[in-house]
Structure 1
Amino acid sequence: MDAGKEKIKRMMSTGKPNQAINEFSAENGLDIPAAETIYDLLHSLGHTKWSVHEAVLKATVLSAENRIQRETLPPEQHTALLSQMKHYLAIPRLQHLPLMLLEKHPRLVPDDICQDILQTPELYQKCSVVVKRELWRRDRVLFNKYMMPLIDSYAKNNELLNMSQEICSSNVKAYSTRRRTHPALTQITSAIDADLQLYMQTLGMVRARFIETNNPMYGTLRLDLVMTMHENDVAEITKTDVCHGLAWSLDACIMKQVMDDRRVLELQKYFDGVDPENAPYGEIALILSSPYSRHILAQYILSILEDIAPNAEVSTRYSDLAWPSLVLRIGLLAHDLLLQEHPKIPGFDRSVTRKFFRSLIPFILAAQRHDRKIGSYEQHLLKGSVGKMAQLDRTGAFPAKDILYSKMSDLQPSAEDVSILVSSELARQVLYVFLLKRVAEFDIAMLNIWLPAISEAFKASLGVPSSAYDSTNTDSSQQPQIALDLRQNAFECDAFMLSLVLHIKDKKGLVTAVLNSAIQGLDLAGQGIKGANTDGVIAQAIESVPLLGLFDQQARVRHCAHEQVISFLIECTSILSAEYSNNSGMTDASSAQTQVVPVHNKESAVYFAFVLTEHAAAKYAVDPEHFDKLSKLYHKLAAVSPPQAFEYRVSGSNCPNASKFLKS
């Protein structure tokens, strides 16, 4: 186009303008015998030559577009026509014509045209995905440049992250659908289509990112990629991917949240069919590193232990623990295995399978007795009543003191149990599942038994300096960096905290019981609320409720725990607001639950929530990348804070520490 402009300039400047115009018109005008007469007629009707040429060009281009779309030429004719149209790539208005032609036979893109496109970013952007796919096949760097942002977008998405951190979730099937319809994944799979070469390159990028970050979300992406290809029936890829059989059976277990005998047998056959000398253990481990994979395996191990417990002395199922423990261990060691040139299957962690799991059985038996006792009590309450099950909240059956303080003095983890827990993520994974199930059954006493060991294990597994936990720190700080080899531990610490709060929030009566236990230890008599020492209030609450102590410890070093504390406070404050308003605005079920366990002292509870909010804003860790999400939680907390709290209502004006999160 620029060359044409220069030619016209030269013609107009070196000769007579009128003569130049006539010559140019003769050379480039319509090649029709009566063209001049037609021009005169059109001119008399108010049409310029430019408008005539514009209309002819549009009609010609439209005709060319229709013909290109309609016809598929043999390769030889296609190549010849493409060669004739090549120069149109330099004309913005016409360059889409050769690009459309390229779509008809993308594998026949000539090298010279390929280079022209690659050297012209604007032209590359105008190419369809079909044409780009061929360019990517020839230029690995270009494909990486396109794919990496999408891969990272999936792995760093907050919604997908939170879903993957829910241990024992009942929403896994819906979560899988949301993951596999996420824009990042659909763009990735659309770019790959059924191209085996691009699929393998994508897997290489996912592996590289996992090695670089040790982020388990890349393991979930690996699982989703092969399962999406399975669901799209891309046979060439699924037949070639050595992990397809593993992913297929494992995904079925994840969807149903149970590992039945049939699926376990399928998985065992898959591993039996793997050649130990040439096994792709790195690739297998990447799929097993997905939180969804690890959590379902941990649940399966716990189910075996629950089956063993009633007949522990004579049970023959102890040997059944070995296989899932080994598979889970492979997933936990994924980062190490991918770093090895020839990865080998790891050995059994016998300290866990032979000692820790056996030590856990008495606790499982105690839990089973607890559930039978609660079940009998419920049946007694419901006997002769109609519709009470919908209203019953099991925390209403016991005072808060019994729920949160009760100890089983003769049943405590041994020093060896704690030592194994500190050193083994495998042991922690199974314990997390067990304790979350206990919380779901209102068995907070069991959680309290293990809280000291969990606190110690958290500290050891994160590798954070002890100074970060110092209660004398006066300011919140940026979340400490976690060493690369410990990031999976950090992920699971966050997952347990998030899941724990979700399980507690799911039981309104349990939230109220925790709140009552926190405030019943506060002695404000004589000095009044205004005279209380705020640090002392928090210290008393932590001493009264070990659960709050775990929250406080973790939130000092993990942004996720900070979020969970505020999320818990939102639930507490919502209950307080409802009580101040005679439960207005709550659902009938929620109202019934709150009535079973009322807040003992609303004023003290409001003050405690206010003080804990200020404490959190001042001393808990913040990840700058997720500041906005945390800020939204503080805003939500302020929105549900009851107006009757007056100066202890959470707001920007009342909360100097929290004000930084409450700025609009």
Structure 2
Amino acid sequence: MSLRNASSANATTSAAASGNAGTSGGASATAGTPTTGTGLEVLGIPGGSFLQEALTSCSDPLQAIEEFQLENGILLPSLRPMMPLLDLHGVKRLDFHISVMEALRDNLLAQISELGKKEGKEKDKKLKDLLNKSFMVVKIKALRPVVMAVMKHLSHVDEKYLKVLVKDKELYDDCDTVVKRQMWKDNQSLFGDEVSPLLSQYIKEKEVLLFDQNNLTNLFFLPSPKVRRQGEVVQKLTHMIGNNVRLYDMVLQFLRTLFLRTRNVHYCTLRAELLMALHETEVQEITNVDPCHKFTWCVDACIRERTVDVKRSREIQAFLDGIKSGQEQVLGDLSMILCDPYAVHFLATSSLKILHNLVATEGLPRDHHILLLLLRMLALGLSAWQMIDTQEFREPRLDSQVVTKFLPALMSLVVDDQVRSLNAKLPNDERESALTIIEHSGPPPDAFQAYISESSV
């Protein structure tokens, strides 16, 4: 069972079908890339051009076809007496040869698959030899799966083959993603053409979900991080990247550029979701080299559990405090991860929960270490666009008066709401009720109004 036998059967199939075969481009036999013709002639098998010449130069076309079939048919003496039996049953020679060719091809594909499961240099040597002998027939559709299967199981495909594939859209589209990755890593524009529609689809899906007027309930923040990562776009990007660090870096650069150009914070969401999707599939070649991995993992766990416990707050604090001189550029990626709307929503709602708790316990915001960390993270996330735009990677200083003046003012408003609510439930006492409403009504404190307009936090 060999590719040559399959090719021979394919040649006879062409003769049985019409006595003529089409031609298409290629490369030389010595280089292992297709030349002009179908590739059969390069293998030493008479193909379409040979048959065409025989038919135009002969006196009896039927005799020429019969001779071609005898010379290039399946070289099995015991089979020839059976051919008239197929004719009696109305089985066309074309159908018979196609079935034989498909059986040979499927058998060869199975053997290639088994070989691909093995490890070591011997495997690659055999696959490279097979690719060198088979690539010249890559333009024959019936035999193309064999060539594609060989390349799929090779750890590295030679550049000479990749150049042929990337120039032919049909061949490129038929390549497995494993092979395409080798083309993409050295061709950023080609990879960008593949990724761009997925990024546009992702942004559109997020905006439809966020601005859906027919939805009376807010479903945008409802799905857990793990559920969101199962989305089509995230899964496709994860598959396209595989364990290739270069492709991962390209995607991150696309996201930074688009975020900078559009200010669309959904690109920040995709930045975080992509890293965590690779974490879940245990692509350690990438997660081990991304300096944001541990930080993103901690933040993701907090969002998933909807709380920040003492242990995780210490891990996040240690990470932010541990950024050394010369490593400040990582702040750009950290700020994008914290600019994710899901992260901002979590940080803001968690801060409000802590404030309500402080009201109940009569505590002060400045004494609550987790609240101060959440505000620090919020300030870093809200500065993401400016930091990437200016390329000045410095953590923004949180205005101390946000903690000493704005938050106490906000807490006073919470107390006013609680007092009015409690007063409404008590028996009517006009004078006492009027005094309570007067004491806990009126405009918000000046500090509250000032910081609402001045501070993004």
TM range (shorter): 0.7 to 0.9
Q: Does structure 1 residue 356 correspond to structure 2 residue 399?
A: no
2:172 aligns with one of 92, 113, 124? 124
**2:228 alignment partner AA:** R
Q: 1:315 to 1:88 in 2, by over 3 A?
A: closer
**Equivalences for residues 416-455 of structure 1 within 5 A:** 417-426=448-457
For 1:116 and 1:373, the matched residues in 2 are separated by 80
Shift of 1:94: 1.1
The counterpart of 1:134, out of the listed 182, 194, 214, is: 182
Q: Could you tell me how far 1:95 is from its partner in structure 2?
A: 0.5
Pairing partner for 2:322 from 263, 269, 273? 273
Distance 2:417 2:262 in 1: 38
Distance 1:187 1:164, change over 3 A: farther
- Which runs of 5 or more structure 2 residues have no equivalent in the other structure? 1-21, 24-36, 38-46, 117-121
Aligned-residue offset at 1:338: 1.2
> Match of 1:425, SS?
coil
Asked whether the 8 Å contact 1:11–1:20 carries over to 2, the reply is yes
Partner Cα separation in structure 2 for residue 309 and residue 21 of structure 1? 96
SS in 2 for 1:67: helix
| Distance change (3 Å), C-alpha of 1:33 and 1:47 | same
Corresponding residue for 1:261?
Answer: 310
Query: Contact conserved, 2:366 with 2:372, CA < 8 A, in 1?
Result: no
Kept in 1: contact 2:420–2:440 (CA 8 A): no
Matched residues in 1 for 2:127 and 2:222: separation?
A: 48
In the alignment, what sits opposite 1:111?
159
The residue matched to 1:156 in structure 2 has which SS? helix
Once the two structures are superposed, what CA deviation does each residue of 1:522-541 show, in whole Å capped at 9, x if it has no partner?
xxxxxxxxxxxxxxxxxxxx
Partner SS state of residue 332, structure 2: helix
Cα distance change on mapping 1:314 and 1:408 into 2, 3 Å: closer
Q: Where does structure 1 lack aligned partners over 5 or more consecutive residues?
A: 381-396, 427-664
Q: Tell me how far 1:83 sits from its aligned partner.
A: 0.7
User: Over residues 463-511 of structure 1, what are the superposed CA-to-partner deviations in whole Å (9 max), with x where a residue is unaligned?
Assistant: xxxxxxxxxxxxxxxxxxxxxxxxxxxxxxxxxxxxxxxxxxxxxxxxx
Residues 424-459 of structure 1: CA distance to partner in whole angstroms, max 9, x if unpaired?
221xxxxxxxxxxxxxxxxxxxxxxxxxxxxxxxxx
Matched, 1:242 2:286: no
Aligned to 1:491: none
Question: Across the two proteins, how many residue pairs are aligned to each other?
Answer: 398
Deviation track 1:56-101 (CA, whole Å, cap 9, x = no partner) reads 2122222212222222362222111111111221101111111011
Alignment RMSD? 3.4
Judged with a 3 Å threshold, the aligned counterparts in structure 2 of structure 1 residues 410 and 196 are, in CA distance, closer, same or farther, namely same
1:97 to 143, 146, 153: 146
Q: Distance in 1 between matches of 2:357 and 2:75?
A: 91
Assess if the C-alpha contact under 8 Å between 1:154 and 1:160 holds in 2: no
Residue number in structure 2 paired with 1:456: none
- Residues 317/94 of structure 1: CA separation in 2 closer, same or farther (3 Å cut): same
Distance in 2 (alpha carbons) for counterparts of 1:286 and 1:419: 27
Q: Deviations over 1:124-168 (max 9, x none)?
A: 2222222222332232222222122222322221477429999x9
| 1:155–1:218 contact (8 Å) kept in structure 2 | yes
CA distance in 1 between partners of 2:78 and 2:219 (Å)? 79
User: Out of 102, 105, 124, which is 1:58 matched to?
Assistant: 102
1:11 maps to 54
Counterpart Cα distance in 2 of 1:321 and 1:80: 64
Change (3 A) 1:171 1:147: closer
Which residues in structure 2 correspond to 1:69-108 (within 5 Å)? 69-72=113-116, 74-105=123-154, 107-108=155-156
**Deviation sequence 1:580-615 (CA, Å, 0-9, x none):** xxxxxxxxxxxxxxxxxxxxxxxxxxxxxxxxxxxx
Matches within 5 A, 1:405-416: 410-415=441-446
User: Aligned equivalents of 1:175 and 1:371: distance in 2?
Assistant: 33
Over 3 Å counting, the alpha-carbon distance change for 1:173 and 1:260 in structure 2 is farther
Deviation at 1:55, TM superposition (A): 2.9
Q: Distance in 1 between matches of 2:68 and 2:418?
A: 96
TM-score (norm 1): 0.54
> How is 1:483-522 mapped onto 2 (pairs within 5 angstroms)?
none
Which letter does structure 1 place at the counterpart of 2:269? T
More divergent stretch after superposition (131-140 vs 314-323): 314-323
Taking the aligned partners of 2:368 and 2:77, their CA distance within structure 1 comes to: 97
Report if aligned partners of 1:306, 1:364 keep a CA contact under 8 Å in 2: yes
Compared CA separation, residues 85 and 92, structure 1 to 2 (3 A): same
Answer whether contact 2:365 2:403 (CA < 8 A) is retained.
no
Shift of 1:334: 0.5
Matched AA of 2:301: A
| Deviation by residue 1:237-277 (Cα, 9 ceiling, x = unmatched) | 22211111211211122122222222211210111121244
* Percent of residue pairs identical: 26
Between 345-354 and 40-49, the greater mean CA deviation after superposition: 40-49
Aligned residues of 2:151 and 2:157 also touching (Cα < 8 A): yes
Q: How far does residue 362 in structure 1 lie from its aligned partner after superposition?
A: 1.6
* Partner residue of 2:377 out of 316, 327, 352: 327
From 193, 202, 224, give the equivalent of 1:145: 193
Q: Aligned letter for 2:130? A: L
Residue 288 (structure 1) shift: 0.5
- Separation of aligned partners in 2, 1:318 and 1:35: 88
Amino acid at match of 1:57: M
CA 1:408 to 1:247, structure 2 compared with 1: closer, same or farther past 3 Å? Answer: farther
* Paired residue secondary structure (1:90): coil
Letter in structure 1 aligned against 2:409: S
SS at structure 2 position matched to 1:215: coil
Amino acid at match of 2:265: P
Q: CA deviation at 1:52?
A: 3.3
Name the structure 2 match of 1:561. Answer: none
Check 1:97–1:44 CA distance in 2 against 1; reply closer, same or farther (3 A cut): same
Partner of 1:21: 65
2:178 partner amino acid: V
1:155 counterpart residue number:
203
